[in-house]
Structure 1
Amino acid sequence: MDFDQLKQDIIEYSKEIGIDKIGFTTANTFSEMKNRLIRQEMLGYQSGFEEKDIEKRVDPSLIFDGPKSIIAIALAYPSRMKDAPQSKRGERRGIFCRASWGADYHHVLRDRLAKLEDYIVSRIPEARFKSMVDTGELVDRAVAERAGIGWSGKNCSIITPEFGSYVYLGEMVTNLPFEPDEPMEDQCGTCNKCVDVCPTGALIEGGQLDAQKCIAFLTQTKGFLADEYRVKLGNRLYGCDTCQTVCPENKGKDFHFHQEMEPDPEIAKPLLKPLLTISNREFKEKYGHVSGSWRGKKPIQRNAIIALAHYKDETAVEDLINVMKNDVRPVMRGTAAWALGKIGGAEAEKALLAKQSVETDDEVLAEIEKGMRMLAPDAG
């Protein structure tokens, strides 16, 4: 088999099935990434969503028998929303990050990888694969970097010359020996914009992220959000794009190649108040197809409450009182109490006082007290 010719044929076929960029690399251990991951773990910077075994994250031979190569793919997604609805008084809106605007990218990438597998098997029946997206063991950023898809930016994203960092990544470990592509040299240079503007200081330095501080991670947690991060959340419901939107390499980058990635504006930028009472079934029906729904409705609802407080939306006071009084989940009751204190007003104060006399959960009571303090005349 002429593997050089097969590689060229795969590249051509990848364009036909909607893969925007493809690269090939060896199945050698990702030694440099291993050192970074060990350091991340030692510093407590991991999110907890990752594969726990660092060796499996960097050594393809531990997850695949006889690996010879890895094929990396990238699909470009839109950075601008057409006909985006405006957030206005009484109709305040939240926002999902760009990576969650269209259909869940895990499904989109798996579809492309499956088609690529089928094509290769049609050429070499004995070919074997293990394909994965970011829920797999390997670090997709490390694979993409070594396969020449792009360079690893200071914002911890792969930045491609063609599409900026607005790309989804996937990879395929295989037993076929393809010639590896050249890795791309770092092109961030002295630019430090992403590090400088990170809302929570999660980007410790170029290429190192404290996931515990990252808003993208924090929006996916289910407990009470620390006060210091509530004021940073803004109207974000899921994810954070700040380190991408300030990147000079992303200026003017907006690609609409894939219909399934096109956002529904009412889902990508939804009204906040209806989220407070949405049922599990309604949430699944409306948002279940986007990647931002994977943790369920609880984080989204909590973030919607914080967003209403961010806007100081007085029209939401009645809705928030209802959550504080009737929601069975302490996180929702407590966050609503805090939000009422943030928004202020006589109605909010009356409701907080009434709830304080009957609430039994200590954490919720602490949030009520925070709300009451913000209502005090000298609270500023």
Structure 2
Amino acid sequence: MNVEQLKMDLIEYAKSIGVDKIGFTTASPFQEMKNRLKRQQELNYQSGFEEEDIDKRTEPKKLLPEGESIIAIALAYPSKMKNPPTGKKGERRGIFARASWGLDYHVAVKQRLELMEQWLRERVPNVSVKSMVDTGELVDRAVAERAGIGWSGKNCSIITPEFGSYVYLGEMITNIPFPPDSPIENECGDCRLCLDVCPTGALVEPGQLNAKRCIAFITQTKDVVPDEFRTKIGNRVYGCDTCQTVCPKNKGKTNWIHDEFLPDPELAKPLLVPLLKLSNKEFKNKFGTIAGSWRGKKPIQRNAILALAHFKEQSAVPELIELLKKDERPVIRGTSAWALGKIGGKKAKDALLEAYHQEKDEEVLREIKKGLELVERD
């Protein structure tokens, strides 16, 4: 088997199925990443969404014992929306992060990897492969960096010369000993814009993220948002792009390449009040094909309530009162109470006072008290 030729042919095939970048590296351990993950664990910076076993995250042969190399791929996604709708008083809108625009990237990247697996099986008898996207064990960023897809930026994103950091990553471990590519030079230099503008200080140092403070993580949790982050979320209903939008390497990278990733503006920047009323079925029918739907409707609705508080949207007060009185979920009732206090006004105050005498849940009562304190300050 001519592995060099196979590599060149696979690169051509990958491009033909919509892979924007492909790189190759060995299946040897990612020692530097292992040290970094251990440090992250010691500092309690992990989000809890990750694979807990650090060895599995950094030793490819634990996942495919016969693995010899790893194929890394990247698909570019848009940084700008065509004809974005504008929110206004009475019609406020939220925003999903760019990584949740268009078709769920887990589906799109996995489709490409499966086609590549099939291509290899047709050409190489006894080929072994194990592919993964985002939710797999390996750290996508470490693989992509060593395979020469891009360099690891201070904002913890892989930055490519061609598409900036707006790329989805995936990888495939295989027993084929493909010749490895070389990593590319880090071009961040002295720039530290991403660290300086992070709304919550989640980027504690270059390449080190405290995931528990990251808005992208906070918007995906299901509990009451800690007080210190509520006013930082703004109108984000899922994810955060700040450390990408300020990056000079992303300037001019629109990446309108794949139709499947072009956003439906009404999904990417949805009206906030209608979000509050969606049933599970309606939420799934409307948002089920995008990455931001994976945690279900509750986090999105909670974030929409915080966004309405951010705008101090008086027209939403009746809906928030309805949620405070009747919603079965304490997180939604409590967040609504706080939002009513933030928006203020007589109707909000009266509703909070009434709820205070009727509410039984201790956590919700705490939020009602906070709401009443905010109303008094108003």
> Which category of TM-score, normalised to the shorter sequence, fits these structures?
over 0.9
1:161-200 deviations in whole A, cap 9, x for unaligned?
0000000000000000010000112110100000000000
* Secondary structure of the corresponding residue to residue 201 of structure 1: coil
The share of aligned pairs that are identical, in percent, is 66
Q: CA deviation at 1:208?
A: 0.3
| Counterparts of 2:317 and 2:310, CA distance in 1 | 13
Moved more, 297-306 or 182-191: 182-191
Mapping of residues 129-168 of structure 1, within 5 Å: 129-168=129-168
Q: Does 1:246 align with 2:236?
A: no
* Secondary structure of the corresponding residue to residue 10 of structure 1: helix
Residue of structure 1 equivalent to 2:263? 263
User: What is the one-letter code of the residue matched to 2:42?
Assistant: M
User: What is the one-letter code of the residue matched to 1:236?
Assistant: R
Q: Does 1:212 align with 2:212?
A: yes
TM-score, structure 2 normalization? 0.99
Unaligned runs of 5+ in 2: none
* Secondary structure of the corresponding residue to residue 357 of structure 1: helix
Q: CA deviation at 1:125?
A: 2.6
User: What is the one-letter code of the residue matched to 1:347?
Assistant: K
Q: CA deviation at 1:307?
A: 0.2
How many residues align? The count is 378
Mapping of residues 1-380 of structure 1, within 5 Å: 1-376=1-376, 379=377
Q: CA deviation at 1:258?
A: 1.1
Q: CA deviation at 1:259?
A: 1.3
| Counterparts of 1:313 and 1:331, CA distance in 2 | 20
User: What is the one-letter code of the residue matched to 2:311?
Assistant: Y
Moved more, 359-368 or 239-248: 359-368
| Counterparts of 1:366 and 1:114, CA distance in 2 | 50
User: What is the one-letter code of the residue matched to 1:19?
Assistant: V
User: What is the one-letter code of the residue matched to 1:37?
Assistant: L
User: What is the one-letter code of the residue matched to 1:5?
Assistant: Q
Runs of 4 or more consecutive aligned structure 1 residues displaced over 6 Å after TM superposition: none
1:61-101 deviations in whole A, cap 9, x for unaligned?
11112110000000000000111110001100000000001
| Counterparts of 2:209 and 2:163, CA distance in 1 | 22
User: What is the one-letter code of the residue matched to 2:220?
Assistant: Q
User: What is the one-letter code of the residue matched to 2:317?
Assistant: V
* Secondary structure of the corresponding residue to residue 204 of structure 1: strand
1:238-272 deviations in whole A, cap 9, x for unaligned?
00000000000000001121111110011010000
Q: CA deviation at 1:202?
A: 0.1
| Counterparts of 2:267 and 2:187, CA distance in 1 | 35
User: What is the one-letter code of the residue matched to 1:186?
Assistant: N
| Counterparts of 2:200 and 2:50, CA distance in 1 | 21
Task: Tell me how large the CA RMSD over aligned residues is.
Answer: 0.6
Q: CA deviation at 1:122?
A: 1.5
Unaligned runs of 5+ in 1: none
1:334-376 deviations in whole A, cap 9, x for unaligned?
1001000000011111111111111111111111111111111
| Counterparts of 1:258 and 1:164, CA distance in 2 | 16
| Counterparts of 1:40 and 1:185, CA distance in 2 | 25
| Counterparts of 1:41 and 1:269, CA distance in 2 | 35
